Amino acid sequence: MILYEVFDANNVAAQDLQGFFENWPQPPTPERHHQILANSYLALIAREEETNRIVGFINAISDGVFSCYIPLLEVIPEYRNQDIGKTLVSRLLERLDKFYMIDLCCDTNLRAYYEALGFYPVQGMIWRGSSPHAEDAS
């Protein structure tokens, strides 16, 4: 059974955050991941009850008044396709219902996933540290 809870930095150690960021070119370390979740406006985790293993998480950053951004949603590979991500998104959106704007960016291959959860596409721009496209703008 999967348990869903608000991330509490005092009850989760960095080493509990293993197995995430599959195929990322520069993944955050577990310590950095812990810091990201701890500094979020709100972060939720999914924990496997039997093993106590953290198998998924989602976080939101916000001005606390008008807008939120969901930068990360991850479920470790062996727990995917069990609606854990969908449940994390739903529970986060329930807690953020007072906000006018709740935005996220995703890769093209994830667009249908988020559309099924009620998000809709808009055009946007992003900047990433050491962006491979920075030289294209000159």
| Domain chopping of the chain, boundaries | 2-137
Task: Write the CB contacts of 9 (distance below 8 Å, at least 6 apart in sequence).
Answer: 34, 37, 38
Residue 138, pLDDT score = 46
- What class is the 2-137 domain? alpha beta
Q: Round to whole Å and give the CA distance between 133 and 138.
A: 10
pTM score = 0.89
| Residues 68-107 pLDDT 10s | 999 999 999 999 999 999 999 999 999 999 999 999 999 8
The confidence score (pLDDT) of residue 130 equals: 64
